[in-house]
Amino acid sequence: MSVFPVARISKWGYHKGNGTRWFGAPRDDGRIHAGCDLLARPGTKVLAIDHGTVQYRADFYLGTDQLVVKHGNFIVRYGEVAKDKKVKGIKNGSVVKPGDVIAYVGRLKMLHFEMYQGTETGYLTRRKNKDYKFVDPKNYQRRADLIDPTPYLDAWKAWSQFSDWIDDVMDDYF
């Protein structure tokens, strides 16, 4: 059974209307937010949502990394994870299972979570390549098989009732 991808649930929501954290939120530069931002303290465990295989780890955004994992029916980009704190043994080709710690929340104090159906191939993000098959509208700047992770996150949140999970109160951070 799938699990929520951060080990502590924040009271700061990721649904439409919650700041700029929701899927589809407009950005000042005209881009559209291609994932959900799950706020958490730096160092919070990032968990594999399901069984899967790590495809790659790479630079992502403002001093953070991304970990891209192929799960059964999806590809997930775990974005804005810590660059300086890595999980031993997690590398390209690593096999993961639901709830495995695969990374830590990075300096931007959130997990940026993107999902793809896996029906396309090639890079997940392309900004200026005219041969690239973009999702519609194009200013998501993402591959054509991008999907909204919100309903999946909701389901996993409901199922992930581990006794040691708490609402992470983050007023001191935000």
Token readout for 44 is 């919070």
User: Residue 167, Cβ neighbours under 10 Å: how many?
Assistant: 9
Collect all residues with Cβ–Cβ distance below 8 Å to 116 and sequence separation of at least 6: 74, 75, 76, 77, 124, 143, 145, 146, 147
Among 57, 112, 142, 143, binds Zn ion (CB under 5 A): 112
- What single DSSP character describes residue 135? P
CB of 97 to Zn ion, least distance (A): 26
Please identify, using beta-carbon distances, which residue of 39 and 94 lies nearer to Zn ion.
39
Binder among 37, 50, 65, 100 for Zn ion (CB under 5 A): 37
114 binds Zn ion (CB under 5 A): no
Q: How many residues in the shown chain lie near Zn ion by CB under 5 A? A: 2
Q: Which is nearer to Zn ion, 24 or 118 (CB)?
A: 24
Which residues are within 8 A (CB) of 158 and not within 5 positions of it... i.e. 6 or more apart?
none
- Is 25 or 48 the residue whose CB approaches Zn ion more closely? 25
